[in-house]
């Protein structure tokens, strides 16, 4: 019984397609429009605007998709995210996620 359940699970996992590797150059190019608000390399200096650098890729992609489909509301971000394709979102998210953030104690 356990082996049948395991086999079913393995077959289900095998049928799941993994996302294609992100195109970092395309992500960098597409992210240029983000930098005016989110800062150079995604480090924001604007109050109320989050830094994107170093955020998990899956989190960034999820948030952009929610802005795109209207589940998350922000007047500016809903307009910016609307025309983005899934590939654009994956590329942008990967580009911002690549940065490592170092925290320093004061």
The 10s digit of each residue's pLDDT in 9-59 is 555 555 444 456 889 999 999 999 999 999 999 999 999 999 999 999 999
* Residue boundaries of the structural domains of the chain: 23-97
What is the reported pTM?
Answer: 0.78
pLDDT in tens, 45-94: 999 999 999 999 999 999 999 999 999 999 999 999 999 999 999 999 99
Distance CA 48, CA 102 (A): 21
Neighbours of 58 (CB within 10 A): 11
Q: What is the pLDDT of residue 87?
A: 97
Q: Report how far residue 57's alpha carbon sits from residue 91's, in angstroms, rounded to the nearest whole number.
A: 9
- Asked if the model's pLDDT at residue 4 lies above 80, the reply is no
Element spanning 74, H or E: none
Q: Which CATH superfamily is domain 23-97 in?
A: Cytochrome c-like domain (1.10.760.10)
């Amino acid at each position: 019984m356990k082996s049948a359940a395991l086999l079913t699970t393995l077959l289900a996992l095998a049928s799941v397609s993994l996302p294609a590797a992100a195109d970092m150059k395309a992500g960098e190019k597409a992210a240029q429009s983000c930098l005016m608000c989110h800062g150079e390399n995604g480090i924001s200096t604007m109050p109320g605007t989050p830094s994107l650098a170093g955020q998990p890729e899956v989190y960034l992609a999820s948030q952009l998709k929610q802005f795109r489909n209207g589940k998350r509301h922000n007047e500016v971000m809903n307009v910016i995210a609307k025309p983005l394709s899934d590939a654009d979102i994956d590329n942008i998210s990967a580009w911002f996620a690549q940065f490592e953030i170092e925290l320093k104690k004061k």
